[in-house]
Structure 1
Amino acid sequence: MTMAPEAELLLSKEVGGAAEDLVREVAGHGYTVRTRQVLDHRAAEELTWLVLLALPLQAFLSGLGAGAATGVQNAVARLVARIRPPEPVPEERPRPVPLVLQDPTTELRIVVEAGLPAEAYEQLLTLDLASFRIGPLHYDRDAGRWRSELDEAAAG
């Protein structure tokens, strides 16, 4: 019997139980999901995300079909709707993004912002993550593609 791949979900204290849909969605794709709350002694201004999902990214993304991508998109949208970062967010500190996907082996991160178009999720399914070395990846709405500014700068 093969072991189910593992996913770890780190939640900021603002999230509470709002990540239940995302846990069900990831578990529904055969992952054993372990959730943990970020320790309270960390300063809130140190976190740039509300939820960090660590799992083998390329396998997870390539294993999703179009319908599953819609399920993940809907779970993320529900998560974003249920959580709000503390208000007001000081100007010197960026507003935390709702979800960051991280590969535990390569440590590559993908930033999933609120309100991404469906084509962003569709592109994510076929994205060759091996072509990125530094990250993090963000969806560029103007260009209509996923990109890493740090990788682009390093390539010159």
Structure 2
Amino acid sequence: MTETPLRAELLLAQDVSEGLEQELTARFRELGVRSVRVRRALGHRGPNELQWLVLTALPLQAFLSGLGSEAVKDGYRLLKELVGRIVRRRSTAADAAPSLLVLQDERSGLRIVLEPDLPQEAYEELTALDLTRFSVGPLHYDRARARWRSELDEAAG
């Protein structure tokens, strides 16, 4: 049986440089994504919206499962480095809003927010996470409880 190659669509904030765009594309390919399409977001967002810098839409469960497999050696480390690079590039401006990498499932729309300085355990748990347990999202890693959770799903019961 042959697997369908992973495809991803990157939606980048307007202020993402061409260099970072190329680096992101290369990194996602290292993580097993074979086709990467890049678009730019419109320049206006409300103050209450999630301040992501990069939104990546892809078949999320397949991507996360692949990170933990032998096919993508050091997948956790590569993803953690990718998040770190995005944050470091953005944090040079004193008034910059927090920079986040957000993964979004292309079918369900469920989002996972990857914040800077997540512990290694967060990435390891992420690769084994059953996304069908969540319906609303977004998922954040709760450091105090050491688990991924969706506060909106929990509030909905």
**TM-score computed with the length of structure 2 as normaliser:** 0.83
- Counterpart of 2:52 (choices 28, 31, 49) is 49
Cα distance change, pair 47–150 in 1 and its aligned pair in 2 (3 A): closer
- Counterpart of 1:60 (choices 63, 71, 91) is 63
| SS of residue paired to 1:9 | strand
> 2:91 & 2:46 partners in 1: Cα distance?
13
Shift of 1:138: 0.2
> 1:56 & 1:85 partners in 2: Cα distance?
32
- Counterpart of 2:114 (choices 108, 112, 119) is 112
| SS of residue paired to 2:10 | strand
Segment of structure 1 superposing worse, 69-78 or 138-147: 69-78
Shift of 1:19: 4.0
User: Contact conserved, 1:101 with 1:111, CA < 8 A, in 2?
Assistant: yes
> 1:13 & 1:19 partners in 2: Cα distance?
11
Cα distance change, pair 122–19 in 1 and its aligned pair in 2 (3 A): farther
Q: Cα deviations across residues 66-93 of structure 1 (Å, max 9, x unaligned)?
A: 611211111221221112386436xxxx
Shift of 1:134: 0.6
**TM-score computed with the length of structure 1 as normaliser:** 0.84
Alignment coverage as a number of residue pairs: 149
Long gaps (5+) in structure 2: none
The Cα RMSD (Å) is 2.3
Identical aligned pairs, as a percentage? 49
Which position in structure 1 is the counterpart of 2:7? Answer: 6
Which position in structure 1 is the counterpart of 2:87? Answer: 80
Amino acid at match of 1:50: L
Long gaps (5+) in structure 1: 90-94
Q: How does 1:1-156 map to 2 (within 5 A)?
A: 4-16=5-17, 17-28=19-30, 29-40=32-43, 42-43=44-45, 45=47, 46=49, 48-65=51-68, 67-84=74-91, 87-88=94-95, 95-155=97-157
Amino acid at match of 2:120: A
Cα distance change, pair 72–19 in 1 and its aligned pair in 2 (3 A): farther
